[in-house]
Structure 1
Amino acid sequence: MNNRRLYSPKYVKEILDKYGFKFSKSLGQNFLIDGNIVRKISQIANITDKDCVLEIGPGIGTLTEELALNAKKVVAVEIDEKLLPILEETLQAHDNVEIIHGDILNMDITKIIDEHMDGGPIKVVANLPYYVTTPIIAKLLEEDLNIHSIVVMVQKEVGERMIASPGSKQYGSLSVFVSFYTYPEIKMDVPKTVFMPQPKVDSVVIKLNMKEELPKVDRKVFFKVVRSAFGKRRKTILNALSSGLGVEKETIREVLESLNISTNIRAENLKIEDFIKISQTLPPLNIY
């Protein structure tokens, strides 16, 4: 086994040339080639020899290798069949790594955790393709998985939206969604120059610490309210909820006034607690 680390740009090029690998734009492939970033991601995730780690999109195994050096076990899910023989070679020295071929969005993650990772709790670490960042994070959060924390590299703009506070331009339904399930924090800025090929935008590493207890609210109603509120950002909360939920304005007005929420306020100025109270106070909605 070559003892050079996988984040060496020269080694990356060698291994890709050996297998005739071509980057797929449709899969959003951008491989990390900076050892400092790779090590910092593992440190941010606080990976120890007691941890089972789920990695999504290992690429040629650059981050996987670092995780394997620190974790009890790493299960890496890779969608691109052409990368499987490369991963077999690059990670052959690590007997605590298991590669699963498939699309994480179509997989039973609970089954993976139960069958391959001692039932959890696990840590998720990933350099996510930009085009599927939100669907993957949504799946990880919505399925009530036995996850301790999620550390992911995402497009900078998306990361800023995830941690945005009420009153800011970036604050929206994604911000509320993420803060419903987790305590989000941007841990590191990552320049586009540390990837091969180089993307057009910079990235951030964001850490999502899972909440032990979720708010006591009907989630379907809550997220319907949030989506309706932000669906037309320029509308007042009264008009946005009335049209988005298909509920009479007078009913919405009564709900807002009973909660001392101004009918003229916009969604971007409401806290998650406000959306929870609105969801709990609304009359039953026909959304099932």
Structure 2
Amino acid sequence: MTCCSPARPPVAGRGHNPPVSESVNPASPSSVRRFLASRGIRPSRRLGQNFLTDRGVAGRIVAASGLQPGESCLEIGAGLGMLTDALTAAGARVTAVEVDARLAEALAERMAGCANVRIVHGDFLKLDLRDLLSSIQQPVRVVANIPYSITTPIIERLLEHRTAISGIALLVQKEVAERVSASPGSRQYGSLSVFCQMFTEARVAFAVPRHLFYPEPEVESVLLLMTPRETGLAPDREDAALRLARAAFTQRRKRIVNPLSELLGLPKEKVEDAMRRAGIDPARRAEELSVTDFVRLAELLLPSASGPV
């Protein structure tokens, strides 16, 4: 880890826990266990507290993220600081968000001499993200080991502010990453796939074994990479396509004509005609349509943002 000058990052809730003589080594499970015990912290499943304990993997994550020296980085769920260390060593200006006040305080203590690290205590889903991003030099690269139980809400929030973000690298549950990056026609492809692929290029970089976390998660983990992109569509057209996709996937095993007819309140014949005009076989199911298909179909079935879905 490289630190530029002795400056203590601001953090809410400081001073509630007594200092400990031993600083945690996040790459040592035994050190992590001793440290957590000394602070009276029991890893919370609700908060998704599965701490990465391998510096090599942390370095691979930072390298795969595309982070460049001097670039701004937002870390969500900093925990004990394994990724924070790697990001700082790579020369990033890091803003690390941590919901657990005890961990936020401990990390602020450990990073006290690093002027290029700021620790923010708070719930990422409740923070004013626009305000937070405006306080960071843009564009911002997001690199994080996030709580798996709130992966979708985190991605949705990030993509709402995608114009300020240059790239996203998230450790997530394998099944969720497969849904995000799935191709049309696959079992995993769904409305989440359409949403993410409308606004990003998404791919799975590599898997991270369970034994490299403490405590070990019950699911498989992978690094998901997402590069935001412009759609070239007006916001109301983006919304119309996504609303159509959500409607279509409510009955993913049926021909798309059926759910769209029911939820849009249109005769099946009109839906079938629109599909033919969009160059889509009316016999197709939702899981067979690409993002572009949903955009074309929305132009015909939802000509304005005030459509009925």
Residue number in structure 1 paired with 2:140: 122
Residue 243 of structure 2: which of 191, 208, 224 is its match? 224
2:197 aligns with 179
Hey, what's the Cα distance between the residues in 2 that align with 1:131 and 1:186? 19
Pairwise mapping of residues 24-39 of structure 1 onto structure 2 (< 5 A)?
24-39=44-59
1:209 maps to 227
Instruction: State how far apart, in whole Å, the 1-side matches of 2:182 and 2:29 are.
Output: 35
Q: Does 1:272 align with 2:288?
A: no
Moved over 6 A (4+): 1-4
Q: 1:2 Cα shift?
A: 7.3
Cα offset for 1:83?
1.2
Q: 1:158 to 1:125 in 2, by over 3 A?
A: same
* CA spacing shift, 1:246–1:64, aligned 2, 3 Å: farther
* Identity across matched positions, percent: 38
Gaps of 5+ in 1: none
After the TM superposition, which residues 1-288 of structure 1 pair with which residues of structure 2 at under 5 Å, given as runs?
5-115=25-135, 117-118=136-137, 120-211=138-229, 213-217=230-234, 218-282=237-301, 283-284=303-304, 285-287=306-308
Paired with 1:49 and 1:11, the residues of 2 have a C-alpha distance of 30
Deviation, 1:257, is: 1.7
Task: Give the SS at the match of 1:104.
Answer: coil
Aligned partners of 1:26 and 1:6: how far apart in 2? Answer: 21
How much has 1:195 moved relative to structure 2? 0.9
Which amino acid in structure 2 is aligned with residue 39 of structure 1?
Answer: G
* TM-score, structure 2 as length reference: 0.87
Deviation string for 1:92-137 (max 9, x for gaps)?
342211111111112222211222x12x001001111111001100
- Please say if residues 52 and 71 of structure 1, whose CA atoms lie closer than 8 Å, have aligned partners that are also in contact: no
Could you tell me how far apart the structure 1 residues matched to 2:22 and 2:102 are?
21
- Cα deviation for residue 7 of structure 1 reads 1.7
Letter in 2 for 1:226: A
Counterparts of 1:55 and 1:25 in 2: how far apart (Å)? 19
- TM-score normalised over the length of structure 1: 0.93
State the AA in 2 paired with 1:163.
Answer: S
Q: Structure 1 182/21 Cα, relative in aligned 2: closer, same or farther at 3 Å?
A: same
C-alpha RMSD of matched pairs (Å): 1.9
How far apart are residue 47 of structure 1 and its match? 2.2
Give the deviation of 1:179 after TM superposition: 0.8
**Higher RCO, 1 vs 2 (CA within 8 Å, ≥6 residues apart):** 2
Amino acid at match of 1:51: E
| Structure 2 unaligned residues grouped into runs of 5+ | 1-20
Q: For the Cα contact (< 8 Å) 2:170–2:223, is it kept in 1?
A: yes
Question: 2-side partners of 1:287 and 1:29: how far apart?
Answer: 41
How many residues matched?
A: 285
Cα distance in 2 for residues equivalent to 1:242 and 1:229: 10
Q: Retained in 1: the 8 A contact 2:252–2:286?
A: yes
Does the aligned pair in 2 maintain the 1:31–1:59 contact within 8 Å?
A: yes
